[in-house]
Structure 1
Amino acid sequence: MLHYLQIENFAIVEQLKLHFNNGLTIISGETGAGKSILIDALGLVLGDRADSTVVRQGCETAEVSAVFTLPSPAFKWLQQQNLKSSHECQVRRVINYNGRSRGYINDQPVAVQILRHLGEYLIDIHGQHAHQSLLKSDIQRQLLDDTASSPSILEQVKQTYEHWKSLKTALDSLGGENRFDQIAFLRYQVQELEAFDLTTESLERLEKEHHRLTHAQKLLEHCEIALMLLDNDEGGATLSTLSKANHALEEVQQHDPKLDDIIALVENAIIQTQEAVGELRQYLHHLDIDPANLQEVQQQIATLQDLARKHHVRFNDLPAHFEKLSQQLTELENYEENANRLEAELTEALQAYRVATEALYQQRVQTAQQLAKQITTEMDKLGMSGGNLVIAVSADEEAPPTATGTDMVEFLVTTNPGHPPKSLQKVASGGELSRISLAIQVVTAQSNGVPILVFDEVDVGIGGGIAEIVGKSLNHLAQQRQVMCITHLPQVACQGHHHLQVNKTFNQKSTHTDIHLLDNQQRIEEIARMLGGVEITSQTLAHAQEMLQRSHQSAQ
């Protein structure tokens, strides 16, 4: 549930701090007071798109933060994302004046997509124009699937579809009718690269040889200096000096046994120096400083670099590129064998997909019957007596596979007994469509696992006794979920457990919106205002008080 919401410099809100409780929270206020700002702020902190217009005029940033108690799925998901969290979680969003934003979960920076995904576990917002989206076939199918008893069946369809799709892509990539042209072109590319020793090791050797030849003169000069210092009788050279030192120690070795180890070390140094001198002479003898060799290596490297540019790869990626082209050529040259194998696998994958979609179809048909019955019952409560909603599910095995199966799902409704049901698009009355939409939302909200439900003026076009029924439906829903409802209807407002009032104030420099929790007397006054009239009379107040008392009694 939502415990706390803080808004700073957001739209026309300078600063706002609100605490929330379980049950049904009513949000009311004059038209244009900014009631939807609360909903917009909730949407923003949970990943809705943001731009610079949400930042209060004259401010650098806007900030919205909220504290939630996480349901188990959300808590587990955060753990999977390596985000530290307890079951109480703080979510924060900061928007700069330039439109850029930053998101945080428990003060850990996160991408906006993470906020959005977390929001899917926490809150479901039903806007006043939600019925427009309900006209879409994809939304109707999703509502049906969301209420299904076994989500794993749809997941199985998705998995079998992805497997089928990957095999089809592999088969298509074999070339089909134009494979002969592809073979000719690939063969030309492979033969062009085959002329060179294209392995990772050979390219490394070539680069090392180029580096050595480039510095050959410097190698020669320094090695000759080292040889002169190691093996020259003049100037106190190392080998000569070591031999003289060894002779001097041997002359007195008999007088002190402690010299034995020192003499052994010197003799070992003489042996190693002699070996170094021999190796160095051998190295100098074979050192190649021929400029022609350097030019040849440079030409090889230049040729390979040209090839890399021609094939649009990096120099060091030529071996992998050559191997890839060779493999593609082999697969195309063995087209029949590979195609037969893939076609067999594709047929098997399609069969597995059809089995999964058949199970999904059966589940959808069963779920559709149950869901349609529940929605029809809710429609009856909302004053559409005799109305009936039917959810038609039709399987099309000839349709191309998709991740959601091949079924067509359509919500059909009749508002008059004896008339055939029609698609929602053909329902004439906007008021009827609004009530049908509300019935669908109330029923489906009970079946999904989202703990917070927000209804933003979904009761537009409803009044009188039906409005009271709408309020009772929301009150009943709030026994299981935390529900918020923006409304202009006093019949709905009096059914709330808590009541927030939105007020807009003006001065010469700016506009402010404030929201505060009403006590019982203030609720009576607010509901009296919602009942209408330029002047709130004692009779209006008494009516408002009676409505509140009746709603409390019916809730008990």
Structure 2
Amino acid sequence: MLRELSIRNLAVIEEVNVSFHRGFHVLTGETGAGKSILIDALSLVIGGRGSADMVRYGCDKAEIEAMFDLNAKHPVWTVLQQLGIEGSSDDMLIIRRELSASGKSTSRVNGQLVTLTMLREIGECLVNIHGQHEHQSLLKTEQHLEWLDLYAGDLLIERKLQYQAIFAELQQIKGNIRDLEQSTRQNAQMLDLYHFQIEEISQAALKQQEDELLLEEKQKLMYASKRMDGISEAYELLQGKRALDALSTAMSKLNDILSYDPAKLSPLFEQLSSAFYQAEDVAFQLRDYRDSIESDPELLEQIDDRLALINSLKRKYGETIPDILSYLDSIIVERDLIENRDDILEKLHKQEAAMQKQAAELAQELSHLRSHAGKKLSAAIENELKMLQMPAARFEVSLQPLLEADQSVKLNSNGMDEAVFLLSSNPGEPLKPLNKIASGGEMSRIMLALKSIFAEIDHIPVLVFDEVDTGVSGRAAQAIAEKMSRLALTCQVFSITHLPQVACMADHHYEIRKQITDERTATGVTELVHNARIEELARMLGGVEVTEKTRNHAQEMLDLAHDLKGA
């Protein structure tokens, strides 16, 4: 349930902190008092779109914070885990949303920053807001199939996922077939090109890192003479000009006097010996290296030609040798595809037929499950509508196959069906689509009936109805109030209303009122109890003037509502 809602600097609200309870809540107040702003705030908390215009004039930012108290098994905790958000040891979930005057928005869940997409995913598990504009969704037939599938339950959802995986694979196969069939004209030209490119790259017989090794070898050959001069001079200095003889003589001199001061002279002798042997080893290696140096203009020319070929291939097929070889692999595949086009097409057509059969069988199974669920849903909605003062209403889920132009069955991502909700409001009238016959009051009751049924399925803990009772009065209004009151036994229900019949049935009553202080307007929220609630109900009954008669009427309504809820 929603435990607390705090709002700062949102539209005409300066600062509001409201605590809520279990059960049925109503929000009432004069027109324009700001009732819908509370719904806007709750919408922002669950990922609704915000704008800089929503920030109170003269303020830097608007802040909304909501605290939800949820049981440990609620689905939202799984969603949080999947999103990498830490839960809470006390089963509390705190969501904070900020809107800046510059238009930027930040969101946090239990103190952790989240994206708006993540927030919407979390919010879908927490709050369902239904307003008058949502009546339009009832008129969109594409929504009807989605609702029917949700009502049908886990088995249909499981089969639908299987079907959609097969349908996606089928579409991929059909796309491959279409591409192969449409590319016939270009195939001959492309095949010639691929043959030329494959031959050109293959004849080059490229090796990994070959270009790097060739550049290194080229460097050695280009500077063979300079290397010879440098190495020869170094060798002569060590060997030819008797540098080693000098080191040998020095070693002999030190050896003659070692016995006079061994502690000091022995380390020096060892260092000199090491230097002599190292210098001697270097001299031998310099000699060997000098003897191995070759100046080979012919080899240098061959290397230049090879590098020129590699660079030419790089300009055509890739920046590196691995890129060129990768391109070679890809065009071999394309060549084989063209050369074996007929065989591949035959294989794809066989796959298509097999997948089409699988998809059709699963689509047929989905259709049977939907047909069964449609009958149950129709009966359930008719039962709900009877309780909402539409006793003669007949409701039906019409399930029809999708058809191609030639009247053959057509498959789409949802199967082979389209669902349309049909209604007959009065006896003797035929069933017709909702957009043909339903009035605003009827739409409100149909939507409330649907919400009542789906509240037991989707496990959303908070339902918000924004003036869904508009267009109804009398016994119908009372029926809507009773339905929302019963709905509040399984979830937390909020309703913005102008009808006293609805307000008196609430477990908790909040008044939204504008106040003007220092020439600034601010909206406040007050929980009404006892006499304050009677006064507000009397205002709703009598308008501007509240009389003792309207107060008595209000008290009577509350007493009757109390008895009705206790029955």
Pairwise CA distance, 1:228: 4.5
Bigger mean CA offset, 46-55 vs 212-221: 212-221
1:116-515 to 2 correspondence within 5 Å? 116-150=120-154, 151-173=157-179, 175-185=180-190, 187-189=192-194, 191-192=196-197, 194-196=199-201, 202=207, 204-207=209-212, 209-210=214-215, 228-229=233-234, 232-233=237-238, 269=278, 273-274=282-283, 276-278=285-287, 280-281=289-290, 284-285=293-294, 300=309, 303-304=312-313, 306-307=315-316, 317-396=323-402, 398-427=408-437, 429-507=439-517, 509-515=519-525
* Pair 1:441–1:197, CA change in 2 (3 A): same
**SS across alignment from 1:43:** helix
Contact in 2 for aligned 1:528/1:544 (Cα 8 Å) = yes
Contact in 1 for aligned 2:198/2:331 (Cα 8 Å) = no
Bigger mean CA offset, 83-92 vs 242-251: 242-251
Letter in 2 for 1:269: Q
- Measured in 1, the distance between the counterparts of 2:392 and 2:415 equals 33
Letter in 2 for 1:352: Q
Contact in 2 for aligned 1:230/1:237 (Cα 8 Å) = no
1:72-87 to 2 correspondence within 5 Å? 72-86=74-88, 87=91
Alignment of 1:523 with 2:533, yes or no, is: yes
Pairwise CA distance, 1:407: 0.4
Partner of 1:549: 559
Deviations 1:203-254 (A, max 9, x none): 7432564577579878986896577556623899987777667777888999
* Pair 1:432–1:326, CA change in 2 (3 A): same
Bigger mean CA offset, 209-218 vs 537-546: 209-218
Contact in 2 for aligned 1:376/1:389 (Cα 8 Å) = yes
Letter in 1 for 2:384: E
Pairwise CA distance, 1:375: 0.9
Contact in 2 for aligned 1:375/1:440 (Cα 8 Å) = yes
Deviations 1:38-95 (A, max 9, x none): 1111211221222221222222222222222355322112212222222322222222
Partner of 2:66: 66
Partner of 1:539: 549
TM-score, normalised to structure 1's length?
0.87
| Same amino acid, percent of matched pairs | 30
- Measured in 2, the distance between the counterparts of 1:164 and 1:340 equals 15
Contact in 1 for aligned 2:3/2:19 (Cα 8 Å) = yes
Partner of 2:32: 32
Gapped regions of structure 1 (runs ≥ 5): none
**SS across alignment from 2:32:** coil
Structure showing greater radius of gyration is 2
- Measured in 1, the distance between the counterparts of 2:34 and 2:205 equals 67
Contact in 2 for aligned 1:438/1:459 (Cα 8 Å) = no
Q: What RMSD in Å do the two structures reach over aligned CA positions?
A: 3.7
Contact in 2 for aligned 1:160/1:353 (Cα 8 Å) = yes
Pairwise CA distance, 1:396: 3.8
- Measured in 2, the distance between the counterparts of 1:531 and 1:495 equals 14
Letter in 1 for 2:290: R
* Pair 1:296–1:501, CA change in 2 (3 A): farther
- Measured in 1, the distance between the counterparts of 2:462 and 2:243 equals 87
- Measured in 2, the distance between the counterparts of 1:546 and 1:196 equals 95
Letter in 2 for 1:487: T
Pairwise CA distance, 1:360: 1.3
- Measured in 1, the distance between the counterparts of 2:254 and 2:204 equals 56
Contact in 2 for aligned 1:243/1:270 (Cα 8 Å) = no
**SS across alignment from 2:512:** strand
Partner of 2:92: 88
Pairwise CA distance, 1:185: 2.2
**SS across alignment from 2:367:** helix
- Measured in 2, the distance between the counterparts of 1:287 and 1:93 equals 76
* Pair 1:277–1:233, CA change in 2 (3 A): closer
**SS across alignment from 1:232:** helix
Contact in 2 for aligned 1:55/1:97 (Cα 8 Å) = yes
* Pair 1:393–1:442, CA change in 2 (3 A): same
Contact in 2 for aligned 1:126/1:441 (Cα 8 Å) = no
Bigger mean CA offset, 503-512 vs 296-305: 296-305
Residue among 115, 120, 127 paired with 2:119: 115
Deviations 1:442-481 (A, max 9, x none): 3233332222111111111111122111111111111111
- Measured in 1, the distance between the counterparts of 2:181 and 2:115 equals 43
- Measured in 1, the distance between the counterparts of 2:505 and 2:228 equals 97
- Measured in 1, the distance between the counterparts of 2:224 and 2:55 equals 68
**SS across alignment from 2:124:** helix
Aligned pairs, how many?
Answer: 552
Letter in 2 for 1:401: L
- Measured in 1, the distance between the counterparts of 2:25 and 2:203 equals 72
- Measured in 1, the distance between the counterparts of 2:413 and 2:245 equals 85
Contact in 1 for aligned 2:251/2:273 (Cα 8 Å) = no
Deviations 1:92-145 (A, max 9, x none): 222222322222222222221111111111111111122211111111111111
Deviations 1:383-435 (A, max 9, x none): 21211101111234744432211201010110122322111111053333332
Pairwise CA distance, 1:316: 6.6
TM-score, normalised to structure 2's length?
0.85
Pairwise CA distance, 1:148: 1.5
Contact in 2 for aligned 1:231/1:240 (Cα 8 Å) = no
**SS across alignment from 2:5:** strand
Deviations 1:164-194 (A, max 9, x none): 2232233333x21433413522541562465
Gapped regions of structure 2 (runs ≥ 5): none
Contact in 2 for aligned 1:160/1:356 (Cα 8 Å) = no
